[in-house]
Structure 1
Amino acid sequence: MTEKKPGHIGCIEAGILENALVIVAVLDPKGTVLAWNHAAETITGYSKKDVIGTTSIWRHLYPDKAYRESVNSRLAEILAKKNYFENFETMIRTHSGAHRVILWNTKEVELDGMKHVIAIGQDFTHIRELDSFRESVIDSANVLITVLDDKGKVVTWNKAAEEITGYSPSEAIGGYGIWKLLYPDEDYRETVTRQIKEVISAQQHFSNLETRVTTKTSGKKVISWNTRQINIGGVKHVISIGVDITEQRIAEEALVAYMTEMAMRIKQPVEIIRDNLHEVAELLRAGKITTEETAMLLDGQVRNARQVAANVQEFQQAILEKNRAIPEAYRKFLEGD
């Protein structure tokens, strides 16, 4: 196939096309490709001789008819309003069968008195793969992760955030309303906001800030928040990570209750044993009891002590069975390990 190169096109190729790192194609009014640069060959796998002078390249790049028609439909909608399009993202299939994400921009120019279109395609595959990887990591995390833009709007709301709060990304992303839902009590919300502002004004971030949120089902959960500033596209954002420590706090409260209850349970019997032993000591000093009588009295206090220990063990077991979230270290202590 003979390569058509009008004078203007030859100049464009020499000065710009061949040195560009993006796909650059020039199309005549009928959509015939008049120029196809080196980057276009490298990215798509289709050479100049395969492309120039034809319109068939688009069927090769978009072999799936349904997808090709959807692309054409979207393009028609855009071009009905303006004679160019910007950052139009599509998925092409290369000559080798691989798929690449291309971000297209076009500009209409006049060459030899006729309108032509310059199409520039940037290979965004690597960026989209990184985006996909980041999204996968964020969604795989078992902690609540949300990203706020420089205006405080939610732009990311991961799977764990949905599982913990009950609110879906569609309910959280794009505004500020999620915080009113999580903190429905106005006074408490203002208290939390004031705490956050005080901390951020001092150090630009906060660590282990505990708040109590209300879930979509009206449940209560304790979240420990940590934030950091990040830069996305030259704009400052805040990434907030929230760890659900509800079970931990419940377990800690159970342990406090255990300690309080246990202290009350053993106080009286221990005081009785103390008083009995004191009485035995006084009788011994006065020589009022024999060795056998002393042994009998001490045996009685041993039985009392054993009963106290049994009561403590029984109570410990009840606490363990009731509170499965008790940390392992405390659990071993309560089990007597």
Structure 2
Amino acid sequence: MLSSLILDGAIKVIQSKQTTLLSQKEEELHTILQNMPVMVDALDYNGDFVLWNRECEIVTGYTAEEIIGNPNALQLLYPDHSYRQQIQKKFLTCGKNFRDWEMHLTCKNGEIKTIMWSNISEQFPVTGYSYWAVGVDITHLKAIEEQLKQQTSELELIFKALPDLCFLTEDDGTIIDYKAGSPTKFYVPAEAFMGKKFYEVLPSSVVQQFQEAINQVKEKGTNVIVEYPLTLNGSIDFFEARCLPLLHDKIMIIVRDITERKKTEELLNKSDTLAAIGQLAAGVAHEVRNPLTVIKGFIQLFQINKEDQERYFDLMLSEIERIEAILQEFLSIAKTDEINTEKKNIYQIFKNVVSLMNTKAIMTNIQVELFTDDKDIIIECSENQLKQVFINILQNSIEAMPNGGEISIHIKEINDDGVIIHVIDEGIGIPEERIKRLGEPFYSTKEKGTGIGLMLSYKIIESHQGTISIMSEVGVGTTVTIYLPKVQSKQSFSNCDDKCIAIRTSSNS
């Protein structure tokens, strides 16, 4: 009997401890559910709310006191009768097992929010809960999603409206998608290029260009533009392809038909050429007409006074020689043969020119000084052409110093890449408004100058891939600065296009 009482007592103690422990666990679970950073609600077997955690209060504005035990709680949260019936019907269908169910819940302030609920009652049953679910407010995400859909739709409309062709490729050139404003501009039908690499579709004549462009996009992450011709429907069309790097190793290629633009550029080039020819013709007529007028006048004098002829011969010969000089300058411009370059000592070239010009300089009381830190600067050049430039510049400096003075020439090496030359005189100087026009044909600061000598100097320096500039101050003097690279690039080393010289109007020289 005693042992039975002891056993009953022990059982009651154990049961009491278990009850207390269970109560503690339930309290801990309730605390966890209350403070979870997601919405958690629960209904009992009568369909009434028995849990409405703090996140539910924050999201909806309804407190737990307003929802728990309230038989009209569902009407508060889902006031639209038909929508509420739709939800209840889905509850009956899905039971206690659904995930990521989006519901439009009405908050206390009237705002409608989208909550994504997941019912986990079946996997994790809780005593006293017939149903409990976890919810996440995705209203902001849905707004972003809707905005993205709208932007995508707008982009689709823009792509359809644009005349461009757009291709999406992998970084190896495989075409995976396209948009076409004008499918008639396809080199081959869409079914023939989808899933294929561009070099399997395009003609071999343009494959190399695209390969280099795609490699550059991959290596540098920069946009690359490619222009290329294609034969479509028996005629040659020109296209411009812009290759743009995208995320996830994708490349967007936007192709535009530039055939009309090319035709317009060609017409403009022809127009510029005709304008340059017209300017040249006008200059020739003007320059040659002056000495011809003098000769004509003398001939008319011969007809009147035949006895006194000899004293006019020198003047006539002088004017004829002037015509020859003008024509020789034009012939120099017309030469387009490629020139041969050799490695030459730039100091020695200038020294020879100074020796050649010294006699004339001394006659006008001018001293020419040559300065350099290194007398062994070697550059790749055409010696004869550079001599022509240096002679022209020294000639101009000497003629600009009628009262004598000093001309100093400074030659300096720059970073092993090139050489810079300054020719500084103490001449009368050139007004600023005239400096801008130097280099134009038939524009000269000298009374009988044609401007062709300086224009030709520009042409020679440009063909050597160098630059020439002029700074001057009236009454102080003029500085001519020439830069020449030591080594010429691989591009064609020939006299630069006459047109680019003929239309030069904004040079600092």
**Given the two structures, how large is their TM-score scaled by the length of structure 2?**
0.38
CA radius of gyration, larger in: 2
Which residue, 43, 46, 52 being the options, matches 2:62?
46
Aligned mates of 2:80, 2:299 — CA distance in 1? 105
Aligned mates of 1:189, 1:84 — CA distance in 2? 59
1:28 counterpart residue number: 44
Does 1:258 pair with 2:272?
A: no
Amino acid across the alignment from 1:111: V
1:103, distance to aligned residue in structure 2 (A): 1.8
Amino acid across the alignment from 1:288: G
Aligned mates of 1:197, 1:266 — CA distance in 2? 40
Could you say what secondary structure the match of 1:46 adopts? coil
Could you say what secondary structure the match of 1:17 adopts? helix
Does 1:64 pair with 2:64?
A: no
1:111 counterpart residue number: 126
Closer/same/farther in 2, CA of residues 115 and 23 from structure 1, 3 Å limit: closer
Aligned mates of 2:51, 2:249 — CA distance in 1? 42
Aligned mates of 2:45, 2:227 — CA distance in 1? 62
Amino acid across the alignment from 2:49: V
Amino acid across the alignment from 1:199: Q
Amino acid across the alignment from 1:258: L
Aligned mates of 2:118, 2:262 — CA distance in 1? 59
Which residue, 201, 219, 225 being the options, matches 1:202?
219
2:425 counterpart residue number: none
| 8 Å CA contact 1:25, 1:118 repeated in 2 | yes
Closer/same/farther in 2, CA of residues 198 and 110 from structure 1, 3 Å limit: same
1:270, distance to aligned residue in structure 2 (A): 4.8
2:134 counterpart residue number: 120
Tell me the percent identity.
15
Does 1:84 pair with 2:102?
A: no
Which residue, 220, 244, 247 being the options, matches 1:226?
244
Closer/same/farther in 2, CA of residues 36 and 110 from structure 1, 3 Å limit: same
1:85, distance to aligned residue in structure 2 (A): 2.2
- Structure 2 matches for 1:145-164, cutoff 5 A? 158-164=156-162
Could you say what secondary structure the match of 2:114 adopts? strand
1:319 counterpart residue number: none
Aligned mates of 2:241, 2:253 — CA distance in 1? 9
- Structure 2 matches for 1:242-281, cutoff 5 A? 251=261, 254-264=264-274, 267=277, 269-270=278-279, 272-281=281-290
Aligned mates of 2:227, 2:86 — CA distance in 1? 47
1:58, distance to aligned residue in structure 2 (A): 3.0
Aligned mates of 2:68, 2:239 — CA distance in 1? 63
1:160, distance to aligned residue in structure 2 (A): 2.7
Could you say what secondary structure the match of 1:21 adopts? coil
Aligned mates of 1:71, 1:221 — CA distance in 2? 57
Does 1:98 pair with 2:111?
A: yes
Q: Which has the higher contact order (CA 8 A, sep 6+)?
A: 1
1:136, distance to aligned residue in structure 2 (A): 6.2
Closer/same/farther in 2, CA of residues 253 and 10 from structure 1, 3 Å limit: farther
| 8 Å CA contact 1:86, 1:106 repeated in 2 | yes
Amino acid across the alignment from 1:259: N
| 8 Å CA contact 1:9, 1:34 repeated in 2 | no
Aligned mates of 2:225, 2:102 — CA distance in 1? 41
Bigger share in helix: 1
Unaligned runs of 5+ in 1: 1-5, 141-156, 168-174, 213-219, 230-235, 292-337
Closer/same/farther in 2, CA of residues 223 and 202 from structure 1, 3 Å limit: closer
Closer/same/farther in 2, CA of residues 69 and 194 from structure 1, 3 Å limit: farther
1:201, distance to aligned residue in structure 2 (A): 3.9
1:43, distance to aligned residue in structure 2 (A): 1.0
RMSD of aligned alpha carbons: 4.7
1:164, distance to aligned residue in structure 2 (A): 2.4
1:200-254 deviation line (CA, Å, top 9, x unaligned)? 5424x34144589xxxxxxx9856453343xxxxxx5869696x8768x855752
1:268-320 deviation line (CA, Å, top 9, x unaligned)? x55654554354234234243799xxxxxxxxxxxxxxxxxxxxxxxxxxxxx
1:117, distance to aligned residue in structure 2 (A): 2.7
1:178 counterpart residue number: 178
Does 1:13 pair with 2:26?
A: no
Aligned mates of 2:227, 2:27 — CA distance in 1? 66
Could you say what secondary structure the match of 1:63 adopts? coil
| 8 Å CA contact 2:164, 2:256 repeated in 1 | no
Aligned mates of 2:187, 2:103 — CA distance in 1? 42
| 8 Å CA contact 2:163, 2:256 repeated in 1 | no
1:263, distance to aligned residue in structure 2 (A): 2.0
1:150 counterpart residue number: none
Amino acid across the alignment from 2:103: T
2:343 counterpart residue number: none
Closer/same/farther in 2, CA of residues 197 and 104 from structure 1, 3 Å limit: farther
Could you say what secondary structure the match of 1:26 adopts? strand
1:47, distance to aligned residue in structure 2 (A): 1.8
| 8 Å CA contact 1:13, 1:37 repeated in 2 | no
**Given the two structures, how large is their TM-score scaled by the length of structure 1?**
0.53
Closer/same/farther in 2, CA of residues 193 and 261 from structure 1, 3 Å limit: closer
Amino acid across the alignment from 1:226: L
